[in-house]
Structure 1
Amino acid sequence: MFILSIMSMFSACAKLCLRCRGLLSPKNSTHLHCVHVQHGVTVGKPSRISNRFLSRGNHTAAQSRLNWKRQTSCCYDYTAKYLTTEAKESKHTDDVHRTDVPEYKPALVPTVAALPLPQSQISVDLDADDRLSALEEISDEEAVGISIPPSIPPASVSLQDYVDQSETLTKLVQLGVSLWKLERRPNVGSMLLRLDFNRDVAPCLLFLKEIGVEDSRLGYIISHNPFILSENLENLQARVNYLTSRKFSSETVASMVSRAPYLLNFSVKRLDNRLGFFQQQLKLSASNTRNVVARLPRLLCGSLEPVKENLKVCEIECGFKQNEIQHIVIAVPKVLTASKRKLTQIFDFVHNTMKVPHHLITKFPQVLNSKFLRLRERHLFLEYLGKAQYDPDLPSYISLDRLVSLPDENFCTELAMATLEDFYLFQKTL
């Protein structure tokens, strides 16, 4: 009985060896691979088939098993690569789950089919795939030679991060556009990134050049009014045509656009209403209205409330007559947009402290647009020297115009008859 049991165990071992030999043959190995792929098994480094069946009964010596392992170990890497290549060509990779089939382990028994593959039979695609493997070690020279494309941040607080990747921003910087001003304004940065330079920006720049805007002013215009890039060229041309029809010369229109970047963003109707407002409020002729607007074109762009308030200040608080206000506005249009506090402060000092009457202020209205600190220091210095005399009918008369316009050196030598050092020493006493 014992001999029969030993013989039956040898028979079972022989059958198992034949079965393992057939599983590792090229034909059956391909079939086994396809099954693993269909069940979602990814073939990596080959593992071993469980030898729980071989552990029963009488086995060969341990040294023989070690020799068999050494003979078969050189074949497993080639077999695994072959199975990996076949797995990539399969069309059923995603059909089933990875955990449906137990892990495949190759047998310990050496087979004829598990011989090393010749180098000529190794697929070129396999070599290419190995080169692209993220786990493969490369030399330092190869690592330095790898080019990594710059990534564009999905969000940023500065347009500087996008200049190198955006042709539009690069060209705008070359034109002199101040991106740091634009990025402070909401939604302007995202608008510029969506613009195509050749399609959106270049036609607008060419239009501005055609109407006479100088190249040096293009950056200034876009820095203050980037929304002009989104305007329709037909609308821009219509607004230029309107200004020309109102007898503004081409040079004047170009100068107005250069100094008031938002001018062409307003409709023809609004421009017409603004011109009519200034002509009616100031009771000016058409020629004088054009003169005032041409010298201060932002009158057509800004709010009208400060203008109305300054006109009331000049009439009610300062006490100027209508014709005097007209003369002041024609000579110094900035009076209409000046700060109310500055306007009243300068008038109070000139009229009440320097004792200058209204008609002389009207004759030299530049004093209302001067710096209060300069005016105060020079008047006090002349008063200290006993030369603060602003009546043209008296000797040693000092004009208000020269008082506020001359540089310090000329003021000292021509009006105060003193040295510049004396004036600086006096300023320290104030």
Structure 2
Amino acid sequence: MAMSSTCAQLCLRCRGFLGSKTSTRLHYIQSHHWRIWTANSKSLSNGLFTNGSFTSTQTRQRLKQHMCYYNNLTVKYLTTEAKENKNADDTVRSTDGANLPQMPNTTALSIPENMNSLDLDAFNEPSALEEISDEEAVTIPFPTIPPSSTSLRDYVGKSETLTNLVQLGVDLWKLEQRPNVGSMLLRLDFSTDVAPRLLFLKNIGVEDSRLGYIISHNPFILTEELENLQTRVNYLVSKKFSTETVASMVSKAPYLLNFDVKRLDNRLGFYQHQLKLSASNTRNIIARLPRLLCGSLEPVKENLKVYEIELGFKLNEIQHMVIAVPKMLTAKKQKLTRIFDFLHNTMKVPHHLITKFPQVFNTNLLRLKERHLFLEYLGKAQYDPTLPNFISLDRLVSLPDETFCTEMALATLEDLYLFQKTL
């Protein structure tokens, strides 16, 4: 209690001639050492230690030692502050001649040489919560490009590559969701890396409006060697794909030119061999659905087995359907089987009629059910072309609701909507 009272008196005495800033620093130092000393002593009760083998005499000696330590520490700090203020006072007095209050002369006080010094410069660090003026805020330096970000939009306007890609219509929000693509784009130089690839795509016939789509789906084409890209285009031309067809294929399948010639050749051979097609029909299928050369072959193999084994189509029927609708090769197995089950077992449509209208596999099953049940309710569900009032499967699934009602069901659109509510 005696030491805490002495510390308080010291704080009050120092605050009178050093100001709030100095007293705050001194109070921080004294409080810091008071916590250390109290922690080492563990507990204090009425001026006597309750833990250990200390007597009251030993306690008073320890208190006296610590009081001397704090007094010496105070003297050293006051001496340093006095010197600094004296220098400042001399400077002011030499410039304007004003007589400022004199600081107490503390240089005559003795300071123990063996006393551990504190790093008081650490307390001169500016606080993060300290308010600054507008002039000081303007002078604070900041990086032109953010060192890290979760979005590419923070770099647009600071990166020439990203700025030009946005002007081309590239969807950066799609690219930033893919790992490592954002950092790859920032490392690319527009003049040496991006511009030559864009000019190459234009030279092979790709329209300007498709450049943004291609890069949005396949940014890695910007890192491909121009020589490799030209080699792959030359291969497709050698297989009798016209230059216009190649440009259309690249626009529809952006990853097409990322695959080497060997892969492209193997894919073309696979479709020609599996479907027993001529070279002309194979080119026709690939030109209309070029992503067949980019995706996995496993779904295609599985669908071919489904058509032949599970659904019971013959090879020539499969060939006819695939040539008419190449997308059937990549359709989901569950969708194919459910549509065929409804067509063949509920609507009683035979295989040869389904073969003539393979577009039915691209429709929505619910739409097919609703329209068939509506025609059946009206007594018009007749799908045999050899009988009167024939309903074409192609028109059944492709016509809009209003045209379907007026031309095929001979009813109103309101009748169809009322019937759908009963399902």
TM over 0.5: same fold?
A: yes
Distance 1:343 1:194 in 2: 45
CA distance in 1, matches of 2:264, 2:162: 31
Aligned to 2:301: 308
Deviations 1:373-429 (A, max 9, x none): 211111111011110000111111101111111111110000000001111111122
What amino acid maps onto 1:390 in structure 2? Y
Say if 1:329 and 1:336, in contact at 8 Å, map to a contact too. Answer: yes
Q: Quickly say closer, same or farther: Cα 1:336–1:147, change in 2 above 3 A.
A: same
Letter in 2 for 1:353: T
Q: Which amino acid aligns with 2:346?
A: T
Question: Distance in 1 between the 2:397 and 2:274 partners?
Answer: 29
| Identity value in percent | 78
Gap change, CA 1:162 and 1:72, over 3 Å in 2? closer
Does residue 355 (structure 1) correspond to residue 355 (structure 2)? The answer is: no
Partner in structure 2 of residue 378 of structure 1: 371
Deviation per CA, 1:74-118: give whole Å up to 9, x if none: 22799xxxxxxxxxxxxxxxxxxxx99xxxxxxxxxxxxxxxxxx
Other-structure match for 1:296: 289
How is 1:17-28 mapped onto 2 (pairs within 5 angstroms)?
A: none
1:153, distance to aligned residue in structure 2 (A)? 2.8
Pick one of 313, 330, 333 that aligns with 1:337: 330
CA distance in structure 1 between the partners assigned to 2:245 and 2:375 by the alignment: 41
Q: Residue 241 of structure 1 corresponds to which residue in structure 2? A: 234
- CA separation of 1:147 and 1:367: change in aligned 2, threshold 3 A: same
Change (3 A) 1:49 1:171: closer
Select the residue among 164, 188, 205 that pairs with 1:212: 205
Structure 2 Cα separation of the partners of residues 70 and 325 of structure 1:
102
What does the per-residue CA deviation read over 1:228-254, in whole Å, with 9 as the maximum and x for residues that have no partner? 000000000000000000000011000
State the Cα distance separating 1:287 from its structure 2 match: 0.2
C-alpha separation in 2, matches of 1:244 and 1:150:
49
Task: State the distance in 2 between where 1:384 and 1:415 align.
Answer: 13
SS of residue in 1 equivalent to 2:422: coil
How far residue 309 of structure 1 moved from its aligned partner, in angstroms, is 0.2
Corresponding residue to 1:413 among 402, 406, 417: 406
1:258-277 equivalences under 5 Å are: 258-277=251-270
Q: Out of 359, 365, 379, which is 1:366 matched to? A: 359
Equivalent residue for 1:169, pick from 162, 179, 185: 162
Counterpart-to-counterpart distance in 1, 2:90 and 2:329: 101
Count of matched residue positions in the alignment of Structure 1 and Structure 2: 314
- Give 1:49 deviation, angstroms: 7.5
Q: Secondary structure at the match of 1:380?
A: helix
1:159 to 119, 138, 152: 152
Taking a change above 3 Å as real, the CA distance of residues 139 and 161 of structure 1, as seen in their structure-2 partners, is closer
- Which amino acid counterpart does residue 74 of structure 1 have in structure 2? R
Match of 1:195 in 2: 188
The structure with the larger Rg is: 1
- Partner of 2:246, secondary structure, is helix
Q: Which has the higher relative contact order, 1 or 2, with Cα contacts under 8 A spaced 6 or more apart?
A: 1
Distance (Å, rounded) in 2 between the aligned partners of 1:75 and 1:364: 105
C-alpha displacement of 1:158: 1.4
Per-residue deviation, 1:174: 1.1
Mapped partners of 1:397, 1:145: distance in 2: 81
Change (3 A) 1:72 1:337: closer
Distance in 2 (alpha carbons) for counterparts of 1:301 and 1:185: 19
- Please provide the CA RMSD for this pair: 2.9
Q: Which amino acid aligns with 2:193?
A: D
1:124-172: CA deviation from partner (whole Å, max 9, x where unpaired): xxxxxxxxxxxxx9985x5687696554332222111211221111111
* Cα 1:155/1:139, change in 2 over 3 Å: closer
Contact 1:331–1:365 under 8 Å retained in 2: yes
| 1:179 alignment partner, one of 148, 172, 179 | 172
Secondary structure in structure 2 of the residue aligned to 1:186: coil
Q: 1:48 to 1:159 in 2, by over 3 A?
A: closer
Contact in 2 for aligned 1:46/1:76 (Cα 8 Å): no
Secondary structure (helix, strand or coil) at the match of 1:47 reads: helix
The answer for the alignment partner of 1:399 in structure 2 is 392
Match of 1:47 in 2: 84
Q: C-alpha distance in 2, partners of 1:287/1:72?
A: 97
Counterpart CA distance in 2 for 1:394 and 1:367 is 21
Query: Are positions 1:287 and 2:287 aligned together?
Result: no
Q: Distance in 2 between matches of 1:71 and 1:264?
A: 79
Q: TM-score, normalised by structure 2?
A: 0.69
